Amino acid sequence: MTKPLVLNLSEVSADDVALVGGKCASLGELFRELTSKGVRAVDGFSTTSEAYNMLLNIGGLRKKLISLLKNLDVDDLDELARVGSEARALMLETPFPQEIEDAIIKAYDELGNRIGKKNFAVAVRSSATAEDLPDASFAGQQDTILNVVGDRNLIKACHECYASLWTDRAISYRTAKGFDHFDVALSIGIQPMVRSDIACSGVMFTLDTESGFREAVVINGAWGLGEAVVQGMATPDEWNVFKPTLKKGFRPIITRKLGVKEVKMVFADDGTGTQVRDVVPSQRNRFCLAGFEVLQLAEWACAIEDHYSARAGHHQPMDIEWAKDGVTGELFILQARPETVHAQKKQNYIETYKLSDNHGAPLVTGVAVGEKIGHGNVHVLLDPDKLRTFKEGDILVTDMTDPAWEPIMKRASAIVTNRGGRTCHSAIISRELGLPCIVGTENATEILKTGTDATVSCAEGERGNIYYGKVDFKVERRVITEERRPNTQVMMNVGDPDRAFAASMYPNDGVGLARLEFIINNNIGVHPMALVNYPNLRNRQDIEEISSRIGEEDPKEFFVRKLAEGIAKIAAAFYPKPVIVRMSDFKSNEYARLIGGAEYEPEEENPMLGFRGASRYYDDRYRAGFRLECLALQRVREDMGLVNVKAMIPFCRTVEEGEKVIALMAEYGLVQGENELEIYAMCELPANVVFADEFLKVFDGYSIGSNDLTQLALGLDRDSQMVAHLFDERNGAVEKMVAMAIEAAIRNGKKIGICGQAPSDYPEFAEFLVEKGINSISLNPDTVIQTTHTILEMENRLKGKKTAK
């Protein structure tokens, strides 16, 4: 039976990779199977590998290519360029067999009949039979040609697509992955263009691209055609959506970041092909998608992942391209392929890079890709024709990369680009190569100079930094075992939302302390009362700084949204385990440092013992600010469905004060006991210990704040070097207070934990806590594994002692 040269996508499934290539098999699967599940995919057709093989048999083309590629060293960039150029020329000089042309044109006409159009624009997508495999994406190795109109232009574009199987990058990639060049055939997918040139488009992954956290959908988008995002021409907007509560009907957009969106790719003025234009400021300063559209895309991403996971028989993260049609306003899924970087990782350890403090201010900052550190000599390279000048171990600094750069990217110690986001070409290839990469710096090629020794750090959170010189760093590797959990819960102290996904990979029982101060300081930066009263502030500079931060957003909504997103990212990382969020505990001198803060803060002789904690919340000088904190927590729990979030009140001096705060929280929508809401108190004052029975009638539990309890029990200023040698949680007076608090909690049937480093610093203190029956110990992530081992050993010893008795 003669094999077909062309198939409609409705005739193709994911099993047809050998026939139509990985991409077209995926397109067919999307159109055939997922449209019935509500996913809006695009119709089209595909040539088959039979057509490609027919072309190779014309005029001895296959033999010529085999001869040309014999003994090629892909690391010799000059030779690679020569062979690639000659191979492409051979493909383009070989005429299409008439029957292939006829089959393509006939399918084009039939597609036009199905969609009710003639002479319409299509996308011509390459699809290799070794593409979109679980262990090799081949993404971007062959060409995609957009806005192709008419029969002759379509045939020309298909010819160019076939030739792109022999680009330098494709030859190099196949060699690196161990594929025989002639075991790989090329098919071509043809689909009507979605008019995203007058709307927006982008890429999404069904996991966090940096940490590998699998319960998030990461969506990137920018104005115009998606190639601008994929190639890193534009730094895109970004959203994170939490899958588990999305599937329950909530609206869990846990982060959103506005991208610069410098340029957009649109249809060319002459009616065929594309061109790049600058984005006007009004578009740069607003998100390219509305919230409901983000949620729709995330729901489709979940449906696609579930479908492919069921087919694979295991969890299969996906890499998906989407577009919005500017004419109809509809969203479309353009293609979906297996994610290949994190899906292949089966390591039983966590690797942490730590930069020393011996460095100056960063020379350049941008978006960190991965969590590694690298150093080397800077090599600013803007001309792809000069790739051969790049030396092994240099830091590649450029405007952006595309697949043509890949032969030298694997030689780099790190990669830095002016443009791009977490899903651009530079980011994807850096992850695949295991390199530190910083994208979207805007000015790296201007600031950094070739030959300068520099360090590229992606180990400091979401922002990546480039420092002058060789900065020392260390790599810690902690093995994760499947041993049983101790009876004493081991929780974590997590303040930085950007580190939450990675921290959740450690064995843990949740978060015992999530501080709001970090989020307010780093993600908001403005005093809450300044936002409540904006623009009616005394300081003109404060007004201008706040205006530049909030843009057109309501100032109070800016605070609530930013705080809610920070809390939500931590809560999502550890869901459904408990995440105890301590309401703000800035001292007045710390609050004063925020933008607009000086106008609202008193000057105190001893802020450590002054206007802080619970006493601020009901005071008229901060009450409206506390309301914003409560609204943020309410949004996380009710809108996003993250009911694992619990609240904790710090520095509560009296029982009456606790009652007053809980009543105020109820007034602001946080009702104790409603929707599983628990409200804890920090046990950090002698009064909290002496009146523990009374406090625990008001609160659902205690978390011992060992720092404040130690300084107040011993009468020390913990910030004073003069008496620092006396500060010791193991002091008998402190231990007696801790024991009294634990006994009171047990007596009242309430939970009690401790948040501080003393249990990890002093094993004997940890043993004391375990022996007294504490419910949980909350630690910094880097000490969790070792302290868990220690606690298990202690519990076994204590069990042995009891048995001996």
8 Å CB contact between 609 and 539: no
8 Å CB contact between 419 and 366: no
Instruction: Please state, in angstroms and rounded to a whole number, the distance separating the CA atoms of residues 678 and 662.
Output: 11
Please classify residue 11 by burial: count the beta carbons closer than 10 Å to its beta carbon, then call 0-12 exposed, 13-18 middle and 19+ buried: middle
8 Å CB contact between 205 and 233: no
Sort residue 245 into left (φ over 0), alpha (ψ -120 to 50) or beta: alpha
Sort residue 273 into left (φ over 0), alpha (ψ -120 to 50) or beta: left
Closest by CA position to 646, among listed 656, 637, 657, 659 = 637
Closest by CA position to 355, among listed 213, 211, 480, 454 = 454
> Over the range 324-341, which residues count as b (16 or more CB within 10 Å of their CB) and which as e?
bbbeeeebbbbbbbbbbb
Instruction: Please state, in angstroms and rounded to a whole number, the distance separating the CA atoms of residues 81 and 406.
Output: 13
Give the 3-state DSSP-derived string for 80-95, with helices as H, strands as E and coil as C: HHHHHHHHHHHHHHCC
- Give the count of beta carbons closer than 10 Å to the beta carbon of residue 354: 15
Is 755 annotated as catalytic?
A: yes
Tokens linked to 120: 């319409």
Instruction: Please state, in angstroms and rounded to a whole number, the distance separating the CA atoms of residues 352 and 292.
Output: 36
φ/ψ of 475, rounded to 5, equals -120, 120
Instruction: Please state, in angstroms and rounded to a whole number, the distance separating the CA atoms of residues 727 and 710.
Output: 7
Closest by CA position to 393, among listed 408, 381, 380 = 408
Report cis status (omega within 30 of 0) of the bond before 535: yes
Instruction: Please state, in angstroms and rounded to a whole number, the distance separating the CA atoms of residues 738 and 721.
Output: 25
Catalytic residue from among 425, 630, 652, 683: 425
8 Å CB contact between 512 and 648: no
Strands (E), 341-439: 349-355, 364-369, 373-380, 395-398, 414-417, 437-439
Instruction: Please state, in angstroms and rounded to a whole number, the distance separating the CA atoms of residues 648 and 515.
Output: 10
* Count of all residues that appear for the chain in the document: 805
Active site amino acids: 425, 755
